[in-house]
Amino acid sequence: MSDLSFPRRTVGAARYALLILVVLLAGAGGVIALVLHANRDAPALTETAAADSGEIHREGAPGGVTELLKRARASVAQQRLLSPAGDNAVEWYLRVLKQEPGNPVAQDALRELFPFAANAAEQTIGQGNAAEAQREIELLARADPGNYTLTILRAKLQAQVQVVEDQRRKEEQQAQAAAQKAQARPAQAPASTAPVVATAPAPPPASHPTPVAAPETTPPPAPRPAMPVAATAASTLPVLTRRVEPYYPDDARRTRRQGWVDVRFTVEADGSVSHAGVIGADPRNVFDRSALTAVERWQFNPGTRNGAAVPMEVKQRIEFRQ
């Protein structure tokens, strides 16, 4: 009885151990499958999370530093330093610095490009495109806010805008003067006939009623030379009614320079100023433009001769003192 029970117990134990081994192997297989599945999905989940947070930047992706530098170099090669807006070298390099402050490539490039970009902005000012020039100057200020060239460019732009404004006002004044002259012509025609009517009765007052007295009326031409004397006695000089003060040049203000400018100009019959020019200055070529710009905007009551407004030449010294 004991000899038979021993083999049975051995077989039972073996079966029990085999069952445990199968269960363990099945459990291990399940764990391995779960680990492999988790590892396979982890990169996709990480990339998705990074994309959602805005932190993913693949090499060469649009908007990345590498792509921005590539576009900036292409703009330099095509001489698009400041324009068109949104697609020029300076803006691309500034975008690089916005994404990666302190990027040495962008910083060096902006430093080297600045003088050439400033020349491009100066050419835009010379072309009279004030709005575009203002945009380019502001773009340069973002690249190098403390550069002294910006002060020069702003002064040139201001002077150009002033010249355009002065030209516009001058054209308006000339148009108004032409309209006034056109309106005055019908009124002047009767006035010109008035002397004829006045001289016509002159012969009848002669004391001799005989026809012989008529030739004696020839002496009236004798007094005619006195007419210019009377006219000069009745002349009046132009009177300034609107004075525009000249602006003080920035360079002269910083260096505390002072001086004067002698200007000669013509006051037209409508009171406007024309043919203004510098005939003397100390120092030369420092205050000349400021003086001329101011004088051209002055307004006068015109000078008269025989009661009629006539153009007159005027000389004026303008002093610059701080």
The pLDDT > 90 percentage for the chain reads 57
173-to-55, 83, 170, 181, 277 alpha-carbon distances in Å: 63, 37, 5, 12, 19
> How is 190-252 classified by DSSP, letter by letter?
HHHHHHHHHHTTSSTT-S--SGGGGGGG--TTTTTTHHHHHHHHT-B--EEEE-PPPPPPHHH
Residue 54 pLDDT > 50: no
What value does the mean pLDDT take over residues 210-233? 42
Give me the domains of the chain, ranges plus CATH numbers.
Answer: 65-162 (1.25.40), 234-322 (3.30.2420.10)
Residue 205 has pLDDT above 70, yes or no: no
Q: CA–CA separation, 301 vs 238, rounded Å?
A: 6
Q: Which range has the worst mean pLDDT, 16-20, 96-100, 276-280?
A: 16-20
Q: How far apart are CA 157 and CA 136, in angstroms?
A: 11
Distance between CA atoms of residues 293 and 289, nearest Å:
6
Cβ distance 320 to 246 under 8 Å? yes
Per-residue pLDDT for 59 more than 50? no
pLDDT at 120 over 60: yes
* Dihedral sign computed on CA atoms, order 161, 162, 167, 173: positive
The least confident of 15-24, 102-111, 226-235 is 226-235
Q: What is the mean pLDDT of the chain?
A: 79
Q: Is the peptide bond before 84 cis (omega within 30 degrees of 0)?
A: yes
* Cis peptide bond upstream of 283, omega within 30: yes
Average the pLDDT over 264-277 and give the result.
Answer: 96
**Who has greater pLDDT, 205 or 247?**
247
> Does 34 have pLDDT greater than 80?
no
**Rounded mean pLDDT of 27-33?**
72
Report the distance separating Cα 136 and Cα 117, nearest Å: 9
| Model confidence band, residue 10 (pLDDT cutoffs 50, 70, 90) | low
Long-range contact pairs involving 218-226 (C-beta distance under 8 Å, separation at least 24): none
Query: What was the pLDDT predicted at 238?
Result: 94
- Beta bridge partners, 81, equal none
* pLDDT band (50, 70, 90) for residue 183: confident
* Residue 206: pLDDT over 50: no
Closest Cα to residue 117, out of 95, 133, 101?
133
* Mean pLDDT, residues 138-160 taken together: 92
User: How would DSSP label each residue in 167-207?
Assistant: HHHHHHHHHHHHHHHHHHHHHHHHHHHHHHHHHTTSSTT-S
Which tokens sit at 307?
């009661």
Mean pLDDT of 84-100: 94
Alpha-carbon distance values, 88 to 32, 82, 135, 139, 172 (Å): 56, 5, 13, 10, 39
Q: pTM for the whole thing?
A: 0.39
| Among 42-46, 96-100, 173-177, 212-216, the least confident range | 212-216
